[in-house]
Every structure is written in structure tokens, then in C-alpha cells.
Structure 1
Amino acid sequence: MSVDVLHLAINYIDLAASGEHSAHYREQLIGTDGSVSTLLEQLHLAYNGKPAKGYASFSDDKDPAVPQALASWQAADTDYLGFTKAMTDALVNQLSTHQLPETGYLVLGHYRYLASEFLIVCLLGSKDHFALTEQLDLSTSRHLDIARMQLAARIDLTEYQVNAGAGNYISFIRGRAGRKVADFFLDFLGCAEGTDARQNSQKVLASVEEYFAAAEFEQGEKTSARRQVFDYCEERAKAGQDVVLAELSAVVDPEQENGFLHYCAEQQLEVAEQFPVEVKELKKMVKFNGAGGGISLSFDEKLLGDRVQYDAGTDTLIIKGTPPNLRDQLQRFTQGYSAFQRQRDDD
């Protein structure tokens, strides 16, 4: 995988003891050499790997600073450096408005991946790394903490230019810090949440299962098709791309490539022609898992009805053939550890 670096700017946002935010600007763009390309590739992959994303579009009811700055840059009235300065100023303003203590390096990367151009915007923290020289002197270096990326969003500039009406050209990480942070980042970008990837995923799950029943798929065919559907959706999500309904239809039923497509139209299932999905939700197609009351279980969908039997009437699960490590633990516990060890020694 490789990305084509177009522009990269990094500014720093600080918080004074008085509680006021301030920005420190880099006066030139960062070059587009190999290390920059590697950085943007890592950001691209890290962002795609985040499971919980929201989707949004610019809103007239929000702060227009970012949409206006973007329009000015795309119209060539402002260069990229000026555009990123305006973005940084907008972020400082929202941090102050929301009274959040966030600081860090604001990375604004413009790049091309496959046939689309993207603008990734993320506020990253840093961490110190320690190394020893040949003389055993201690040296430190500061690294961007990409692994802990939480405050980040990405604008699909190509989608925004050609299909803004779809309303899902901006994605953002929901994160774990609470709804207030998500609201703050949406306010910073001047956008409102729209397309719900989780709901899209649930609709795909329901629609595909309905099609299986209508097309009278056998159990083995269902299991195979579910895996193919999940693999296709996961691949699209990891690449940061939407699921295409026509392509999904061919995956659901290769023998009738438009079968699922026509079924959705006939049943008025209101599945969009192109939509983002949430892999975590779609994983329910191929794996069952749950935890509660001191029990944690997980098993592949293909085992249900075979090695795993479920009685809905009594809410009872019967598992035939336990994993070796679990079986070992159970035998040690039921037989007594000393007796079990003697048995193992005799064997």
C-alpha cells in the first residue's frame, strides 16, 4: 500500500497555566520525502483501523470557519499553508469555547490514495523514547503517538466535489472520551453527523438474511456466503471505502449477481447504492460472542447446529469438543491437580 503525498502541515497547540490555548505555527510546509510518505501511510492505516466512526457533512448551522477555509483553498484563493493556519485557528477557538484541556500536534495531511484525494486532520499527543549511544550515554527523542489517535477526522475531497449530496464525505473517530469530545470535533469542522455506519451494518445483516430465506439457500451456502460478505465489507472498511451495493450483490449470490440488488428494490428495503459500514457490527455474521454473569463465550457461526447446539426454550447451550487449553484446565480442576499430574506422568 502506498499513498501519494500532496501536502503536509503540522502545528502545535499549547495550553497556558491561565487556561488559554495558543497555536505555534510552522512557517513552511513539511517536504514530501520518504519519511513523510511513511507517516501518512501510518496515519491512513491507523485511521482506517479505528472501529467506531461517525459520518457527517458540513452544516449551515455550525461554525463556517473550516468550510469557508476549505472553499478558499480549493478555489486557489489561499495556499495550503494559509488554509491549515485557518484550520488551526478554528480548532483553538473551539477548544476555548468547549473549555477542553486538549493539546498536541495538529497534523493536516493532504494525500491521494487510489483514485481519491483525502484530507486527514488529527490532534496527536507525543511520547518520549529513550536510546543509548555506543558510549552508553542516554538520548531522548520525541515521537508522535499515532497508536493512541482519538481526535481525528478525514474529509474525502473527491466525494465532496462530485457527490456532496450523499452526506458522508466526512468521517470522524467517536473515541472513548465521551460524547462531548465528538461534539467538539464536529463543531470544529463545522459539520453535523449524518450517515450511521452501525445502522447501515444492521440493515445489511437483516437484508442478507432475508435474501437467504427468500432464495432458499441451504445451511452450507449461507455459511459460505456470510463469510464472503464479511470479508468483502471488512476489506472495503480497512481501505477507507464505502460498500457498493452492486458489488455486494455479486458477493451475496455469485450465481445471480443482481439477485440481492433486485430483491432490495422489490422489497423496498431502502439500502443505499453506496454506504459506509462498521466491521464490528458485521462480525456478527460469522461469529457469536457475549459475556455476562461470569461467563464469556465466542464461537464461529459455522459451528452452530454442529458442535454447538442451542435450545431456545431452555436457553441452554451444549458444546461438543472443548478447546484443548480449556479442557486441560477443566480436567485439572475436576480431578484435582495432583491426581491429574500423576495421570499425565503415567501417560
Structure 2
Amino acid sequence: MSVDVKQLAINHIELDNQGQSKAHYRPSLVEATVAVAHLVEQLHLAYNGKPAKGYAVFNADKPQQVVTALKDWQQQTSDFTVLANTATAELEQQLTAHQLPEHGYFLVCHYRYLASEYILFCLLGSKDHFALSDELELATSRHLDIARMQLAARIDLTAYQTSEQQGNYLSFIRGRAGRKVADFFLDFLGCEEGADAKANSKMVLASVEEYFTAAEFDNNEKNDTRKQVYQYCEERAKSGQEVVLAELSAVVDEQEQQGFMRYCQEQQLAVSDQFPVEVKELKNLVKFAGQGGGLSLSFEQTLLGDRVQYDAHSDTLLIKGTPPNLRDQLQRFVQGYSSFEHKAKGE
């Protein structure tokens, strides 16, 4: 993996005695060293690995402080420090306005990965680590808590400059607080929600299955293709890239590589040339899973109709051949219960 760090700014947001956010500014940018490159690489991977992202576009009816600073920086009428500090000041105000008691280190990073350039905004907490010297002296150090990244957003500068109309260039982590965090980022960056990754994923599922029927795929072809589609989408999501319809079409049908794309056009399906997806929504391509009422169950889709039979009328699953560890537990339980029953009857 190769992340090319262009510029990195780090400021600090703390909470005062009244619980209000207060920003502290670093006077200069962080020098781009090997350690900084490794840090940004970890941030990139952590952000890509976060599920349930929201996607947005800039909206002129929203606060424009960050957008204006971004455009000034792009036009080289101001430097990156101005952009980072403007974003920090707006973050401070929006945290207070939305009553989010968050604090930590606010990183604004401009970097390139593969063919795309990004600006990542993230507020990270910290945690203390303890170490002992050879003389058993105790020392502490403060580490950025990248694993718990929750407040973060990223602008794909390349997509913003080349395909702004598609509405996929700005993403943010929805976080555990759900709608409140979504509203916060929409106000912080002056944007409104755009592409719906969850809806895109469901559309991919439905469209691929429809194409299987139209192209008369047999069961083996369907199963193999489902795996390949899932792997392709997963790889794109992990690298922080969108699904490309032309590439997806080639994965769906290797013999007729534009067949799926033509099918989407002929059926007037609302499929963009590029779009984000949520990988977890695509897992039905390769696996069925669910839980509730004290039951948790999952199995590979290829088993349906073979070792697993489903009767929709009675809502019953028949499973032939259980996993060895489950079978062992069941047999031990049944044997134990039978032995207890025999003893109770005096046998």
C-alpha cells in the first residue's frame, strides 16, 4: 500500500469547565516524515473499514465556511493551514451547537492514494500507554486512538473535480449515535445527503439476480458469479473506491462483458457509472444469516437447495449434516438427557 502524504495539520479540541468545546491551534503543519506516512496509512485503512457511511454533496443553503476555505485553497488564494484552521473553528462551533461532548485531536490531511486525492477530517481520542525501562522506571506515552475513529469525513478531491454531479465525493462515518452524527456532519461541512450506499447495494443485488434469469445462467454459473461480484465490491470498498459499472459488468458476465451494463440501460435501472456500496448489504450474495428468538443461524448460499432445504409455506429449514462441533454438543446433550431419564425410571 502506498499513501502519498501531501499536507497534515493537527489541532486540539478540549472541553472547558462548562463542557464547552475550545480549540487550540498548532502554529504550523506537521512535517511529512515516514512516521507521518504510516499514520495516514493507518487512518486511511481505518476509515475505509468503517461500515454504514453516509454520502453527501455541498449545499449552498448550509454554512459555507469549510467549502469556501476549500475552494480558496484549491485556487491557491490561501494555504492549507487556513483550510485546517477554518475547519477546526467550524468543528468547535458545531460540536457546541449539536451538544456533542466530543474532544481530542483534530487531524486534517491531504493525501493521495492510487489515482485519487483526498482530504480527511477526523477527530481522534487518545489513550495512555505504560512502559517500564530496564531500571524498572515507569513511563507513560499518549497514543492516538485510531481504532475508535467515530467522527470523521473525507472528500474525494478527484471525484469532486471530475464528476461532482454524481454526488459521491463526500463521505462520513455515521457512528453509533446515528442521525445526530449525520446531522452534525451535514452542518459541519455545509452539505446535504447525496448517494445512498445501502440503496445502491440492494439495487446491485436485485439487478444481478434479474440478469441471471434474463441471461439464463445455470446454478453453478450463478453461484460462481455471486462470489466474484461480492469479492469485487469488497475489494473496492476496502480500498476506499467506488464500484465502477463497466468493471462490475465484466465481472457479472465474462463472456458478454457489457451485457449487464446494457441490461441496466435497457431496463432503465437507476444505476450510475460509479457508485458507493455497503459490503455488509451484499453478503446475501454469498451467505444467509439471521438471529432472533434465541436462534442464530448462518450458512453459505450454495448450500440452499442441497444440504439446506427451505419450505416457505411452513417456514421450516431442514439441515442435512451439522458442523462437527455442533453435532458433538447435541449428541452429548441428548445422551446425557437419555441417561438421566433411564435412571429416573429405575432402568
Normalising TM by the smaller chain, what interval? over 0.9
Residue 305 of structure 1, CA deviation? 0.7
Matched residue SS, 2:291: strand
**Counterpart residue type for residue 76 of structure 2:** A
2:183 match: 183
2:19 match: 19
Instruction: Give, in whole Å, the separation in 2 of the partners of 1:153 and 1:226.
Output: 31
Residue 20 of structure 1, CA deviation? 2.5
1:104 match: 104
1:29 match: 29
Instruction: Give, in whole Å, the separation in 1 of the partners of 2:141 and 2:208.
Output: 51
- Which whole-Å deviations, capped at 9, do the CAs of 1:254-301 have from their partners, x for residues lacking one? 011111111111111121111100000011110000001110000000
2:236 match: 236
The answer to whether the aligner puts 1:84 opposite 2:79 as a matched pair is no
2:334 match: 334
For residues 157-176 of structure 1, what are the structure 2 equivalents within 5 Å?
Answer: 157-176=157-176
Instruction: Give, in whole Å, the separation in 1 of the partners of 2:31 and 2:18.
Output: 35
**Counterpart residue type for residue 324 of structure 1:** P
1:220 match: 220
The answer to whether the aligner puts 1:210 opposite 2:210 as a matched pair is yes
Instruction: Give, in whole Å, the separation in 2 of the partners of 1:142 and 1:20.
Output: 23
Residue 99 of structure 1, CA deviation? 2.2
Instruction: Give, in whole Å, the separation in 1 of the partners of 2:129 and 2:325.
Output: 38
Q: Give structure 2 stretches of 5+ with no counterpart.
A: 341-347
2:251 match: 251
2:54, 2:182 within 8 Å by CA — same for their partners in 1?
Answer: no
Matched residue SS, 2:236: helix
Q: Give structure 1 stretches of 5+ with no counterpart.
A: 341-347
Residue 159 of structure 1, CA deviation? 0.9
The answer to whether the aligner puts 1:281 opposite 2:261 as a matched pair is no
For residues 303-318 of structure 1, what are the structure 2 equivalents within 5 Å?
Answer: 303-318=303-318
Instruction: Give, in whole Å, the separation in 1 of the partners of 2:339 and 2:2.
Output: 58
Matched residue SS, 1:254: coil
- Which whole-Å deviations, capped at 9, do the CAs of 1:169-194 have from their partners, x for residues lacking one? 00111111231122112210111111
Instruction: Give, in whole Å, the separation in 2 of the partners of 1:109 and 1:62.
Output: 23
Matched residue SS, 1:54: strand
1:114 match: 114
Residue 19 of structure 1, CA deviation? 2.8
1:272 match: 272
Instruction: Give, in whole Å, the separation in 1 of the partners of 2:319 and 2:303.
Output: 9
Matched residue SS, 2:31: coil
1:299 match: 299
Question: Which segment drifts farther, 194-203 or 93-102?
Answer: 93-102
Instruction: Give, in whole Å, the separation in 2 of the partners of 1:98 and 1:54.
Output: 18
2:121, 2:153 within 8 Å by CA — same for their partners in 1?
Answer: yes
Identity %: 67
Residue 74 of structure 1, CA deviation? 0.9
2:345 match: none
2:130 match: 130
Cα 1:32–1:339 change in 2 (3 A) is farther
Matched residue SS, 2:270: coil
Matched residue SS, 1:57: strand
Residue 302 of structure 1, CA deviation? 0.6
1:344 match: none
Instruction: Give, in whole Å, the separation in 2 of the partners of 1:124 and 1:20.
Output: 17
Matched residue SS, 2:42: helix
**Counterpart residue type for residue 283 of structure 1:** K
Instruction: Give, in whole Å, the separation in 1 of the partners of 2:253 and 2:208.
Output: 10
Residue 339 of structure 1, CA deviation? 6.7
Aligned residues: 340
- Which whole-Å deviations, capped at 9, do the CAs of 1:209-236 have from their partners, x for residues lacking one? 0000111111111000000000001111
- TM-score w.r.t. the length of structure 2 is 0.96
Residue 337 of structure 1, CA deviation? 8.0
Instruction: Give, in whole Å, the separation in 2 of the partners of 1:186 and 1:139.
Output: 41
- Which whole-Å deviations, capped at 9, do the CAs of 1:148-184 have from their partners, x for residues lacking one? 1110010001111111111110011111123112211
Name segments (4+ residues, structure 1) moved above 2 Å. 337-340
Instruction: Give, in whole Å, the separation in 2 of the partners of 1:99 and 1:213.
Output: 51
Instruction: Give, in whole Å, the separation in 1 of the partners of 2:105 and 2:260.
Output: 46
- TM-score w.r.t. the length of structure 1 is 0.96
